[in-house]
Structure 1
């Protein structure tokens, strides 16, 4: 009966009757839900966020980056500051000659011992080496000059009998200690030969031989220039005067045997001429010329609050504009801090600085550069034999601080120390040398 009823519901050739309405709706929902779940799993797998892991041959990236080992090494903190390559600060030459400037050297000229620094009243002012400044006239004193010179017409054959108490002197009787001194004191040269407009008595006084460390310094220079025939000591004797006259002859000066206070200038070594503060025809002053040393050096204006690296003989590296690096050494550190110049703009927070001078031992390594901005690198802190990892391996922990992720996905807390050269010092009970840690992506 039921079968007949079903057949009478469908006419031959007609479409099948639709199922009950409620049952069809449930099937449609189930199919749609299955499709959504499959799509979601595919997305999760592509992102590497879970699901049973990536299949072999899949192009999906791993969950995190590569692993690196914890290594034991020495970390060195290096800091760079700006500097200026040059010849150092120009300082005035201690010129004591008076008169009119009649010749000046070109800026940048190098003057060695015995060379002419400038000419005043057409007389050369000569460079000699020493640390003691020229502070008095050097010559035979009043008691040793009187009646001691007998010119024979040829320089170098002059006989002097006033050099008393010396085994290297020609024989002769000493002059009376209180004898008056002629105003010229030179071998027929008169007062003009002294270069100081005074007498040939020097700074001696009432008799005896002129003595002092300045005499020793001058005689050392005279001998170094090849004018010998006397003993290099602290006494200015007749034999010294004879050598002085030969030296004066070579300079085209009157041969007086006396050195005026303005005739020479002392420096520690050869000098490089700076700029002139006078023109030809101007009166000579004590700052008529400036000079520097002849070795190139670097000056850094270091922050007074961060100058602990600047100690004498500290090694530094100097980066030149052409990309080359040369070795340098701290030679001196200023004692006074200089405040920044005013007018640097509102909110200018520049700190006071101290000048740090750095020498370059191998001058050839600098090439032909005479002046250029450079970068100076120095070593700050250093930690030897410590465990380190790349800085990128550090992760921030939820509970605070830093940690490392191990190769098996665990996180271990670490304490960080010095950061340098892209690595960081790490320590902790769970950290050991050689363990592999991940670098998070």
Structure 2
């Protein structure tokens, strides 16, 4: 797969800023001015652009029958679409957080009833009130749904009649085989949002937060913005981090720079405008003399300075 680079902020991405001069330049310098800038520092690490972790989809326990159809790898399954077929009967995807764990029929109550009714309504099967009561009207809508699925029109929904997931899913791998018993893991799927997975050194664990900005560098040299969307539990010496990225980019290895620190609206000069002072510290060349400065963040070839005024002309080496 192509290589990509992930930067968790700029300034620490691969190359370090050049250090300040140890003495004042002896040749007539070029000049620059002290200006206000936003400085960003980060950590550059490798990552993988994909769709996040893959989760197994098992056949309904005790359902019996033969698998007669499975989706292709890479297929996107949305609400109402077929996840697989058993004896040519469709098992569809419904959206929600509660697995289909029990039989639902007229008189049933609970959050899973409301979840089913929300899905039925979204698929166009209406005529009932969306709530936590499975009424005769709900059963009528279920019968219409069952007819379209190729099932018997019982008005009863059994555990395993549908697969529940939080949203649309992308098939990562097909592990079942048509013509075999409907048992075990049939396929594995992921979300449909492209994400970058990074194993970040634990030394930087306290620098990355959900929502932190990042930049993803692709194999062709182009970059796209990203955001940290999930931070996992530490494992060994690394911290798993997930970032969201725009759609339409190829999968594979990338380089990521994750922003670790940002200093906004600070006075800054190019790093090579600094000269070392005898006894320690730094100064800038102004006119025929030097002015001592206090340095802050170093990033992107610039350094934050205080002790000088905005717009001051300072020397830099030619």
The two structures, once aligned, show a CA RMSD in angstroms of: 2.5
Are positions 1:333 and 2:204 aligned together? Answer: no
Alignment check: 8 A CA contact 1:272 1:292 kept: yes
In the TM superposition, residue 94 of structure 1 has moved relative to its aligned partner by: 5.0
1:84-126 deviation per Cα after TM superposition (whole angstroms, max 9, x unaligned): 2111111112542533323211101111211111122433221
Alignment of 1:411-426 (within 5 A): 411-426=290-305
Partner residue, 1:377: 257
Unaligned runs of 5+ in 1: 1-61, 141-208, 340-351
In the alignment, the residues of structure 2 paired with residue 240 and residue 121 of structure 1 have an alpha-carbon distance, to the nearest angstrom, of 26
Corresponding pairs, count: 291
Higher relative contact order (CA 8 A, sep 6+): 2
Tell me whether 1:311 sits opposite 2:209 in the alignment. Answer: yes
| Kept after mapping to 2: 8 A contact 1:416/1:425 | yes
Cα displacement (A) at 1:293: 1.3
The Cα offsets for residues 138-177 of structure 1, whole Å up to 9 and x where unpaired, read as 224xxxxxxxxxxxxxxxxxxxxxxxxxxxxxxxxxxxxx
**1:292 Cα offset (Å):** 1.0
Q: Distance in 1 between matches of 2:128 and 2:37?
A: 65
Structure 1 or 2, whichever has the larger Rg, is 1
Q: Partners in 2 of 1:411 and 1:254 — Cα distance?
A: 89
Q: CA deviation at 1:386?
A: 3.7
With structure 1 as the length reference, what TM-score do the two structures score?
0.60
Question: How far did residue 411 of structure 1 move?
Answer: 4.1
* Paired position in structure 2 for 1:229: 127
The residue aligned with 1:439 is 316
Give runs of aligned pairs for residues 117-196 of structure 1, distance below 5 A.
117-140=83-106
Cα separation, 1, equivalents of 2:141 and 2:310: 76
CA distance in 2, matches of 1:256, 1:391: 76
Q: Partners of 1:386 and 1:276 in 2: how far apart?
A: 54
Instruction: Tell me whether 1:238 sits opposite 2:130 in the alignment.
Output: no
Write out per-residue CA displacement over residues 264-311 of structure 1, whole angstroms, 9 at most, x where no aligned residue.
Answer: 111111111121222234433453211111221222222222033432
Task: Give the number of the structure whose residues are more often helix, by fraction.
Answer: 1
SS at match of 1:256: coil
Q: Is the 8 A contact 2:267 2:304 kept in 1?
A: yes
More strand per residue? 2
Contact 2:90–2:150 (Cα < 8 Å) also in 1: no
Q: TM-score, length-normalised on structure 2?
A: 0.81
Look up the match of 1:106.
72
